[in-house]
A = this chain, B = another copy of it.
Amino acid sequence: MKQIGIADTTFARFDMAKSAIDELESIGTGFQIQRYTVPGIKDLPVACKKLIVERGCDIVIALGMPGRKKLDKMSARIASEGLSQVQIETMTHIIEVFVHEEEAADDKELAWLMDSRSREHAVNAYDLLFRPKKLQDNAGKGLRQGFADAGSVDAREGIYH
């Protein structure tokens, strides 16, 4: 039984974990979910490390919503750097799912974006853990999470296997 960690925050304006967990449970089985909620995104790296080291998670989904202020951007960078460090140190993937508040035009779109990006990245986490071949088949396809895919600019026939 694989362990999937979910780290999220009280700062975010949408329960991204609910979406991610709902999506994971709709994809398949063979995993348990470990959840860890912290105040803000800068608290996520150590939470993720604890999920990996103390609770034995095989992969973690880190959910957060950086605010629209300049100081929030600095927090986002510190958080991302920390998540990167924890991944390298523990040799475990942490799928960072950040929705920056200003990416959405209004509250309704923000809710939609936070829901859909959380769901699509939950699939990525599942794929990394259970079906990496699916990711390789989509290499270079210009995939996006939340908004529409950008698509490929590759005019060559066939894809290398």
Q: Quick check: A11 and B46 within 8 Å, CB to CB?
A: no
Contacts of A140 in B (CB 8 A): 8-10, 12-18
Q: Does A136 contact B (CB under 8 A)?
A: yes
A73: nearest residue on chain B (CB-CB)?
B74
Partner of A18, one of B37, B128, B156: B156
| Shortest Cβ distance from A66 into B: residue | B71
Residue contact B15 to A160, C-beta cutoff 8 Å: yes
Cα–Cα distance between A12 and B153 once the two chains are bound (Å): 9
**Known interface pairs A35-B136, A124-B39, A136-B35; A152-B87 also in contact (CB < 8 Å):** no
Which residues A122-141 have CB closer than 8 A to chain B? 124, 128, 132, 135-136, 138-141
- A52-73 CB contacts (< 8 Å) to partner B: 53-54, 67, 71, 73
Complex CA–CA separation, A139 to B114 (angstroms): 13
Given contacts A22-B160, A154-B13, contact A8 B88 (CB under 8 A): no
Q: Are B139 and A12 in contact (CB under 8 A)?
A: yes
A63 CB to closest chain B CB, in angstroms?
9
As a 0/1 sequence over residues 89 to 118 of chain A, the CB contacts with chain B under 8 angstroms (1 = contact) are: 101111110001001000110110010000
Is the Cβ of B84 less than 8 Å from the Cβ of A78? yes
B9 near A139 with CB under 8 A, answer yes
CB distance A91 to B46 under 8 Å?
Answer: yes
Q: Is A5 on the interface with B (CB-CB < 8 A)?
A: no
Complex: A39 Cα to B146 Cα, angstroms:
13
